[in-house]
Amino acid sequence: MNILVCGVGGQGVLLFSDLLANLALSAGLDVKKSEVHGMSQRGGSVTTHIRYGPKIYSPLIEEGTADLVVAFEKLEAVRFVHFLAESGRLVFDPYRIEPLPVQLGLVEPIDDQRLDELIESRTPNPVAVLAFETARRLGNPRVQNVVMLGAVSKFLEFPTESYKAVIRTLVKAEFLEINLAAFAAGQSLLNRL
Amino acid sequence: MNRKLLSGDEAVARGAWEAGCQVAAAYPGTPSTEILETLARYPDVYCEWSVNEKVALEVALGAALCGARALAAMKHVGLNVAADPLFSAAYIGTRGGLVIVSADDPGLHSSQNEQDNRFYALAAKIPVLCPSDSQEAKDLTRLAFDISEEFDIPVLIRLTTRIAHGSSLVELGERQSKPVTGYEKLIAKTVLLPAFAKVRHFDLEQRIGRLKAYAETTPWNRIEPGDSELGIICDGVAYHYAREVFPNASYLKLGMVFPFPTELVRRFAATVSRLVVIEDGDQFIELQVRALGLQVTGKDRLPRVGELSPAVIRQALTKTNQRPEPEPDLPSRPPALCPGCPHTGIFYALQKQNVIIGGDIGCYTLGTLPPHNAMDTCIDMGASITFAHGADKALGTADPRPRIAVIGDSTFFHSGITGLVNVAYNQSNVIVIITDNRTTGMTGHQPHPGTGQTLMGKRTVELLPEQLACACGIKNVVTVDPYRVSETRKIVKELLSRPGPAVIVSRRPCALLVREKARPKVIDAEKCTGCKTCLRLGCPALRMEGNRAQVIDTLCVGCGMCADLCPREAIS
């Protein structure tokens, strides 16, 4: 299984990836995860590669071979959708964060409709998940990542209990309740599709 | 079985702990920082953030010479700073095991260059081990301590970003008991007077000779037979990439690439029709294979710039690459200074001042980007001050532009102090701005000598940059609050008009350290005229909505820099 996760620095991509990788570990699989820290995190594009299965060599996913691309932001979804395999699935939050040069008026923005066209030209059945909006409604936009995990769980084979267990292990006790709520909310977002 | 998902950095820390490491020292630097952060959480290991990498290596050597197992960790460019003790340590040798970890950054994810530190092993004549995943990072760290003690030599471990920040499964072991054996006076070994040092050089050649024999037979350098058509020699994570692209080839997988196992390589070469070297970084293995007179494909086909990946290898070495291309012409998303970042205020003060600005290494290097455009150089740790000094000596009065250096607090302690002493001693007209955000920001908030706290959480002395500047011989030292943007700009302007040298300490804690966020600011659309003065801060929490400025309330931390600047007092 090849999962590429992308978003903007500060969106919680790294915790999302930790949760997913530990989930695979708890299922007894070989797991590799690759990410980059440091300068790229300061509001820049962030990606992690997660691969799991009986035996994994490379920690990096090749373009055109991802089973899932999970995007926390729409422009980033378009930036990394080419990693998808033909049979792969894009799960993305249509939430937009303008890159700073666009915000400052130094670079032309790219409109929503154009992004939709670009996504459609690349993959036949993308799934939009209003994770940020849901997290905000729950009272903490920072749990966008765990809402996303709830949504993504629909495309993975792990039982709900395993997700909850790994959330309990990796999330600080004071934020446990809202994260479990976020996970459930993410799951039900896709039930309604 | 006790298996855990660990990053390469965490695995090195685990390996050091299991090996009975007693003393560890480092200066933070991506992608090496998590080694010491992790090791400091284990019991019974003394860990410190040293002031810089040279200090860290000397501390580790000092401990090792007293019979402790000791480790020094740094990013690749840190080893340049520590190169002086590195070469001496090879001559002197050790008593307790001495392991040096270099985390290289092919692909420049967070660095100023792509240097390949395996060449340091060759130059300093010490062995280098190259793990290919987290399990090997742990195992080879343990082994490195044993090799160091057996051969009386420091051992280098070379990680790359994809090892350091890649996670894979690791089997955990127990800690070995390695009590400190104590100090023994052996001046012919430890005092590198020329006469003694020459003898030590002979001895080093013998030690490295014995290590060459070791490299020929260690199971960490092993042939994995496969198809005899293609033989691949590789080290590090490149092994796993190659396995994806050429699953059936024959492999010579090297865990120790210096001393180089020449006989093993010859034996392997004799069993395959075509020989390929796949390695991240420069042609370290390839050059040594070529020196044996063997025909080999390497960086003549593979790229010399950037990091490897399965896709890169596939494209360079096979004709089957039909991978989808990324969408062209998307707006890029460069990293940016955070909302409420105090560097924003000082960079605003420097905008459009017609000055020459030597920059340094840290978050504030991002001041290079629009709208600030406030850096002329980024060279190495501490070079802002010395660049500005050199520029001043060259330009004299012929160029009226003030020479400025911008350097962070942690970087100032690391290697800015010597440059500042030089400015005072050799009198140049330089204004040094120390952006004191009370932490080491870029690498994730490590304490430093100005914070009054150590890595192990102890309270300690708190050095004040102002006092240090005075002690360095600078008479004109002022402190500003960068959140008071207009005032800061006025003070900076005023100092620029006077002869230097001078030091400005711009003090405000990193916005990410402030737990209690202030109320997000609001812009009164009635009062806002859309003049865009506030946008010149380059704050990610400000944008234009139509012809009025707007605060993005989910990002705003309420620092008030925009309110301080707004000529219409529209922000509150």
Rounded Cα distance, A15 and A17, in Å: 5
> What pLDDT score was predicted for residue B500?
84
Please state the pTM of the whole predicted model: 0.97
Q: Minimal Cα–Cα distance from B192 to chain A, Å?
A: 39
Asked if the C-beta of B335 comes within 8 angstroms of chain A's C-beta atoms, the answer is yes
Question: Stretch A74-90: mean pLDDT, rounded?
Answer: 97
Q: In what order do the strands lie in the sheet with B98-104?
A: B46-49, B23-26, B70-75, B98-104, B155-160, B128-129, B256-258
Nearest C-alpha neighbor of A51 from the set A24, A91, A83, A89:
A24
Rounded Cα distance, B305 and B292, in Å: 25
Structure token pair of residue B290: 């070529």
Nearest C-alpha neighbor of B5 from the set A192, A59, A112:
A59
Strands (E) in B105-174, as ranges, are 128-129, 155-160, 166-171
Rounded Cα distance, A3 and A78, in Å: 15
Alpha helix stretches (DSSP H) within chain A: 13-26, 74-80, 100-103, 112-122, 131-138, 144-152, 160-170, 176-191
Q: Minimal Cα–Cα distance from A162 to chain B, Å?
A: 16
> What pLDDT score was predicted for residue B515?
81
Rounded Cα distance, A22 and B135, in Å: 16
The H or E element that residue B141 is part of is helix B134-151
Structure token pair of residue B309: 């990946």
Nearest C-alpha neighbor of B432 from the set B366, B355, B345:
B355
Distance, CA of A139 to chain centre: 20
Rounded Cα distance, B540 and B550, in Å: 11
Q: Mind listing the pLDDT tens digit of every residue in chain B (572 residues)? A: 689 999 999 999 999 999 999 999 999 999 999 999 999 999 999 999 999 999 999 999 999 999 999 999 999 999 999 999 999 999 999 999 999 999 999 999 999 999 999 999 999 999 999 999 999 999 999 999 999 999 999 999 999 999 999 999 999 999 999 999 999 999 999 999 999 999 999 999 999 999 999 999 999 999 999 999 999 999 999 999 999 999 999 999 999 999 999 999 999 999 999 999 999 999 999 999 999 999 999 999 999 999 999 999 999 999 776 789 999 999 999 888 999 999 999 999 999 899 999 999 999 999 999 899 999 999 999 999 999 999 999 999 999 999 999 999 999 999 999 999 999 999 999 999 999 999 999 999 999 999 999 999 999 999 999 999 999 999 999 999 999 999 999 999 999 999 889 999 999 999 999 888 899 999 999 999 999 999 999 999 999 988 999 999 888 999 999 999 999 999 99
Decide: helix, strand or coil at residue A86. Answer: strand
> What pLDDT score was predicted for residue B557?
94
Interface test with B, best of A30, A62, A119, A132 (most B CBs within 10 A): A62
Judge whether residue A39 has pLDDT over 70.
no
Asked if the C-beta of A8 comes within 8 angstroms of chain B's C-beta atoms, the answer is yes
Structure token pair of residue B452: 């009054």
Asked if the C-beta of A96 comes within 8 angstroms of chain B's C-beta atoms, the answer is no
Contact A58 B240 (CB under 8 A): yes
Contact A104 B244 (CB under 8 A): no
Q: Select the residue of A34, A42, A79 nearest B165 (Cβ to Cβ).
A: A34
A37 interaction partners in chain B (CB closer than 8 Å) = 30-31, 33, 110, 165, 444
Interface test with A, best of B327, B442, B544 (most A CBs within 10 A): B327
Asked if the C-beta of B161 comes within 8 angstroms of chain A's C-beta atoms, the answer is yes
Asked if the C-beta of B444 comes within 8 angstroms of chain A's C-beta atoms, the answer is yes
A73 interaction partners in chain B (CB closer than 8 Å) = none
Q: CB-side exposure of B253: number of CA atoms within 13 Å?
A: 21
> What pLDDT score was predicted for residue A104?
87
Contact B538 A21 (CB under 8 A): no
* Residue tagged 């000094």 (tokens): B389
- In one-letter notation, the amino acid at residue B122 is L
Please say whether the beta carbons of B337 and B538 come within 8 A: yes
Q: Minimal Cα–Cα distance from B471 to chain A, Å?
A: 33
Question: Per-residue confidence at A40, pLDDT binned at 50, 70, 90?
Answer: low
Q: CB-side exposure of B214: number of CA atoms within 13 Å?
A: 22
Angle CA B346–B347–B352, to nearest 5: 120
Interface test with B, best of A6, A29, A36, A166 (most B CBs within 10 A): A36
> Chain B residue closest to A30 (CA)?
B169
- In one-letter notation, the amino acid at residue A86 is E
Nearest C-alpha neighbor of B339 from the set A115, A55, A103:
A103
Q: Select the residue of B31, B309, B333 nearest A60 (Cβ to Cβ).
A: B309
> What pLDDT score was predicted for residue A36?
80
Judge whether residue A38 has pLDDT over 70.
no
Asked if the C-beta of B233 comes within 8 angstroms of chain A's C-beta atoms, the answer is no
Contacts of B543 (CB under 8 A, 6+ apart): A98, A103, B535, B549, B550, B552
* Residue tagged 């060259």 (tokens): B394
Judge whether residue A190 has pLDDT over 80.
yes
Judge whether residue A193 has pLDDT over 60.
no
Asked if the C-beta of B373 comes within 8 angstroms of chain A's C-beta atoms, the answer is no
> Chain B residue closest to A133 (CA)?
B554
A36 interaction partners in chain B (CB closer than 8 Å) = 31, 109-110, 161, 165
Asked if the C-beta of B314 comes within 8 angstroms of chain A's C-beta atoms, the answer is yes
Please say whether the beta carbons of A64 and A85 come within 8 A: yes
> What pLDDT score was predicted for residue A106?
87
Interface test with A, best of B4, B105, B136, B167 (most A CBs within 10 A): B167
A108 interaction partners in chain B (CB closer than 8 Å) = 331
Contact B314 A39 (CB under 8 A): no
Q: Minimal Cα–Cα distance from B311 to chain A, Å?
A: 6
Asked if the C-beta of A118 comes within 8 angstroms of chain B's C-beta atoms, the answer is yes
Interface test with B, best of A25, A34, A76, A83 (most B CBs within 10 A): A34
Contact B161 A36 (CB under 8 A): yes
Asked if the C-beta of B237 comes within 8 angstroms of chain A's C-beta atoms, the answer is yes
> What pLDDT score was predicted for residue B555?
87
